[in-house]
Amino acid sequence: MTQSNQIITGASAAILIMLASACGRGGAVETSEAARPANGEVNVYSARHYDSDLAIYDAFTAETGIRVNLIEAGGDALIERLSREAEASPADVFITADAGILWRAEDRGVLRPIEDPAILERVPAQFRDPENEWVALSKRARIIIYDKARGAPEGLSDYDDLASPKFAGEICVRSSTNVYNQSLLAGIIENEGAEKAEEWTKGVVANFARKPEGNDTSQIEAVAAGQCRISIVNSYYLARYVGSDNARMRAIGEKVGFIFPNQDTTGTHINISGVGVARYAPDPENAEKLIAFLLSDEAQEAFAAGNNEYPVVAGVKASGPISSFGEFRADTIDMSALGAHQTQAVKIFDRSGWR
């Protein structure tokens, strides 16, 4: 049994204990000025900013004795930093949200292949890079939401339906500069071709209730307030409202219905959070130990639950508010395609007037 296998099977209940104490924490994982720990350190550049992730890093340290040093920033900013630092970079691990950003990291040459086969075997082929430079850690669905007060829109079951003239003036969305929308369009390009993707984009633009603005949270609140009838958001944003301890947020969530699109065709568009080993990692062995830990059953459940996402390892069940959304058919395209078609998606958005 390899060291990574031992870590995968040995992840302890400390994760759950530390998650319980994570509320109210923020910023980077604290590190002392004491001498370097006997089992070393691992330096993480992460574009995920959740207290629950910090608790999992604490559990990794408790399990392995390896200290986690964390730097947080946006995914593209971290890629730029890794590129600029080059061989002088202290980063061992790169974590980000969205397959398109993982593709950008690979394209910029800031990652190296993951070597431990135990890690690669834990992740379905759809959710890992063909060159093994990154693997997914969690996944989310890009769902269609609607104003319950106006009822479920008749004839709306697929992404394609959003381009129907019957929904003129009813759709609000965020900007095409957002990587989630770019990845969605890249998925449509992969499934239906560029010509059909451009026709779809022009149809959706014609149905805008307002110019693109805000984030996914803004779209949920606009639909709940009746400012528009329909939008597209990541599933975890709506789960935050549905499961919130805040009465106002729960009330907003109760006003919004949702659809898992394309259940009779390609399946609902899926995106991921993922991880890779930095190209010039000072300690690639500890980097892979951390990745293996994040793919253990216990860490998978906690990592996904912390942001209302779905685990990526087969057999690990979703928990928390997202589990109430029920089962659905997911798209099966390789996540690498979302990056490969990204440049084309941006050009289509520009030509279609989706700003």
Each domain of the chain, given as residue ranges in start order, spans 3-139+271-323, 140-268+329-352
Which residues are registered as beta bridge partners of 271?
140
> Has residue 67 got a pLDDT over 60?
yes
Domain 140-268+329-352 bears CATH identifier 3.30.750.24: no
The mean pLDDT of 1-16, rounded to a whole number, is 44
Hey, what amino acid is at 94?
F
> Has residue 213 got a pLDDT over 50?
yes
The model's pTM is 0.89
Other Cβ atoms within 10 Å of 247 Cβ, number? 8
22 token code pair: 């994570």
The mean pLDDT of 306-331, rounded to a whole number, is 95
Q: Do domains 3-139+271-323 and 140-268+329-352 have the same CATH topology?
A: yes
The mean pLDDT of 241-261, rounded to a whole number, is 97
Res. 19 pLDDT band, cuts 50 70 90: low
- In whole angstroms, give the CA distance from residue 208 to residue 218: 15
H/E run at residue 237: helix 235-242
> Has residue 40 got a pLDDT over 60?
yes
The mean pLDDT of 233-240, rounded to a whole number, is 97
Other Cβ atoms within 10 Å of 28 Cβ, number? 14
Contact (CB, 8 A) for 329 and 143: no
The mean pLDDT of 105-115, rounded to a whole number, is 97
- In whole angstroms, give the CA distance from residue 343 to residue 347: 6
Which residues are registered as beta bridge partners of 259?
144
H/E run at residue 276: strand 270-278
Hey, what amino acid is at 144?
I
Task: Name which CATH class applies to 3-139+271-323.
Answer: alpha beta
pLDDT score at 24? 41
Instruction: Using DSSP, state whether 286 is helix, strand or coil.
Output: helix
Residue 276 dihedral angles phi and psi, to the nearest 5°: -145, 165
Report the candidate in 280, 320, 326 with the shortest Cα–Cα distance to residue 50: 320
The rounded radius of gyration (Å) of the Cα atoms in the chain is 20
> Has residue 1 got a pLDDT over 50?
no
Which residues are registered as beta bridge partners of 230?
146, 171
175 token code pair: 């900007």
**What mean pLDDT value characterizes the chain?**
91
Q: Which of 8-17, 201-210, 319-328 has the lowest mean pLDDT?
A: 8-17
> Has residue 34 got a pLDDT over 80?
no
Task: Label the pairing between strands 41-46 and 93-97.
Answer: parallel
Contacts of residue 339, defined as CB under 8 A and 6 or more positions apart, other chains included, come to: 99, 100, 102, 103, 104, 106, 107, 186
The mean pLDDT of 209-218, rounded to a whole number, is 97
- In whole angstroms, give the CA distance from residue 319 to residue 301: 7
Task: Count Cα atoms within 13 angstroms, Cβ side, for 69.
Answer: 15
Other Cβ atoms within 10 Å of 242 Cβ, number? 19
